[in-house]
Structure 1
Amino acid sequence: MSARQHELDDAALRAWPLPEPDDGADKEERGRVLVIAGCAEMPGAAVLAATAALRAGAGKLVVATPACIAPWVAASLPEARVIGLVEDERGELQAEQALERLHGVLAGTAAVLVGPGMVPEAAAVRLVRALRPALGDTPLLLDAAAMAAVREGGDAPAALGPHTLLTPHAGEMAHLLGQAKEALVQDPRDTALRAAHQWQCVVALKGAETWIATPGGDCWRHARGNVGLATSGSGDVLAGLVAGLLARGAPPAQAAAWGVALHARAGERLAERVGPLGYLARELAAEVPRLMGALRAQAGAARDR
């Protein structure tokens, strides 16, 4: 398909500045992000994603997570409001009860992230299907198991709507499209563009080269980072960064582009300081505020010249 390709480098980021709050802005103006994540076996995914959303600049944080781990998540995130969601006897979230529990939160929410650390896939999909109609134009980022909402039923892409963003790696993309991974990695650019068109949402196909595509045919190539980013929890951090940028008011494509770039650059900084292998996903988010500040300062200096 015809596409408009862009290289996602420092110059592109400086020319595409993030929305910035006024000096007198309060936390409401910086946006509330809702992170729905975690399960009994992976409670840390909720913490990693939620922390990253705040590091990206979101003003308020609400985390919804299974009731069995909610106390631990709350103790790990003193900045957050934590809501425990009802589970059935198998430990699966109940979509309708979750929607009722979250009803009062959604009205003031600027962005929603669903999926990090959630199992099983079917329960995550049911939650997405119940949640999407209640969100209106609120941006929705689907990650991990929640992305399977695009697979179930012929009306899935239309039901999700144009404000949705997906962040699959190649294996997840193969699962979502029902195709062989080996075929997809031969042409990740075209794969991302076809998926964005098919699902009518922004798609960030992650890898050594990450391709971000829009339904309208724009795509961005990003090729920085290092192998140290291929570690447990790294994708949860990326999802949280993108969600935090969405909450600040960045459109989905911009939030994806900046999130991918900041995540990679955080990995580069840790590789220099800690080593190319062995730094932890939990360390990535703390690098992000300085990285954003440096890029903003470079953009300001360029304008002043």
Structure 2
Amino acid sequence: MPPAMDASKVHDVDPGLLAGWPLPQPGAGGDKELRGHILIIGGSREMPGAIILAATAALRAGAGKLTIATGASVAQLVALAMPEARVIGLSEHDTDGFSLDALASLDPLTDRVDAVLVGPGMRDPASTAHLVHALLPRLADAGVGLVLDACAMDVLLHRPHDASESAPMRFARPVIMTPHCGEMAHLTGIDKDCIVGLPDAPALAAARDWNAVIALKGARTVIAAPDGTLWQHEGAGNIGLASSGSGDVLAGIIAGLLARGASETQAACWGVALHARAGDRLAQRLGPIGYLAREISMEVPALLAQLGNQNTFAAGAAGAAPGGVAMVP
């Protein structure tokens, strides 16, 4: 967390905040291992593209090594689309969910990866929740960062048989969750319109109760931490980001930053900012509607380079205030 964060205020994810909160940078002589190894679990027969979008975004965000675990029925397709990745085929149910037999393939990776993203393109919430519950203690013991997206967030609703129903589920180690307002309504039982109008309180309550960093997506995205710190990112009305696959890209960017060594809160705030600014660039070049989710990731490396240069300048400028760095459009 950047210094002097006041948990009683809402903090803007703006150029000043980012300049004072630089991402971990690999050394000039570092290899791919030092840039982080990410495992992405997801995909299905009907939505193999989601995991491809997320995986591409994770690499564009700077992760050095990529492993994908997806359904055996689409593993070859995904491998051809992602030649940069090791691709593992997992056994599937008729419902498109992964069976717990998948643990035999995933277990050896839990102490060899730096971050895990679960959810893009998965279609069976119950089977996905069972798999996540089985992975949680393994990842917590290994100190591996975890991002839950899409139906993987239903781990909160599909509890183990021996779990108490009287208290909300609470993660032993903080995870990142990336719901939009409809998903947040599904997870909390709060009316969607209430969340759209007043997202701060539900995000803060969920972050506290679940021990999670919540990136609640919308035109005004709020990021809430378990300690009560709240950030906001207000876009310029870029409707082009509200398109199929955009959320998979955001989850991939956040997970890629987490694999690089960013904290959960830093990865969420930077990921939201990069995603929004990439959309703004595409809107300026192609128009506000009609650019594709697959194009968002292509803008991320240049944005990272520009923001990194600004961070270096801000750090070296004597007496420069963190908020005084201008964003390159």
TM (norm. structure 2) is: 0.89
Deviation at 1:40, TM superposition (A): 0.4
| 1:282 and 2:294 matched | yes
Which residue in 1 is equivalent to 2:30? 25
Structure 1 unpaired stretches of 5+ = none
Query: Which of 155, 162, 169 pairs up with 2:180?
Result: 169
1:16 to 13, 21, 33: 21
For the residues of structure 1 that align with 2:192 and 2:269, how far apart are their CA atoms? 23
SS in 1 for 2:18: helix
Which of 180, 196, 200 is the matching residue for 1:185? Answer: 196
Structure 2 spans left out of the alignment, 5+ residues? 1-6, 160-164, 318-329
Write the deviation string for residues 59-85 of structure 1: whole angstroms up to 9, x where unpaired. Answer: 100000000000000000000000000
The offset of 1:156, in angstroms, is 6.1
1:92 maps to 97
Cα distance between partner residues in 2 of 1:106 and 1:25: 23
Partner of 1:140: 146
Partner residue, 2:125: 121
Indicate whether 1:212 and 2:223 are aligned: yes
Q: Which residue number corresponds to residue 298 of structure 1? A: 310
Aligned residue pairs, count: 302
Looking at structure 2, the residues matched to 74 and 38 of structure 1 have their Cα atoms a distance apart, in angstroms, of 12
Superposed, 1:32-111 pairs within 5 Å as 32-94=37-99, 96-111=100-115
Contact 2:57 2:250 survives alignment (8 Å): yes
Partners of 2:191 and 2:146 lie apart in 1 by 27
Give the SS at the match of 1:185: helix
Q: Structure 2: how far apart are the matches of 1:197 and 1:139?
A: 18
Q: Does 1:200 align with 2:211?
A: yes
TM-score when normalising by structure 1: 0.96
Letter of the structure 1 residue corresponding to residue 146 of structure 2? L
Residue deviations 1:246-296 (CA, integer Å, cap 9, x gap) = 000000000000000000000000001111100000000010010011011
SS of 1:112's partner is strand
Asked if 2 retains the 8 angstrom alpha-carbon contact of 1:4 and 1:217, the reply is: no
Q: How far is 1:302 from its partner?
A: 2.5
Q: Which runs of 4+ in 1 moved over 4 A?
A: none
SS in 2 for 1:61: strand
State the alpha-carbon separation in 2 of the partners of residues 156 and 240 from structure 1: 27
**Equivalent position of 2:324 in the other structure:** none
Task: Please report the RMSD computed on the Cα atoms of aligned residues, expressed in angstroms.
Answer: 1.3
Q: Deviations over 1:208-253 (max 9, x none)?
A: 0000000101010101251100000000000000000000000000
Check the 8 A contact 1:204/1:256 in 2, yes or no.
Answer: yes
Percent identity over the alignment is: 53
After TM superposition, give the deviation of residue 35 of structure 1 in Å.
Answer: 0.3
Contact 1:63–1:80, Cα closer than 8 Å, also in 2: yes
Report if the CA contact (8 A) 1:138-1:163 is conserved: no
Which residue of 2 is the match for residue 270 of structure 1? 282
3-state secondary structure, aligned to 2:194: helix
Larger mean CA deviation between 74-83 and 3-12 belongs to: 3-12
SS of residue paired to 2:35: coil
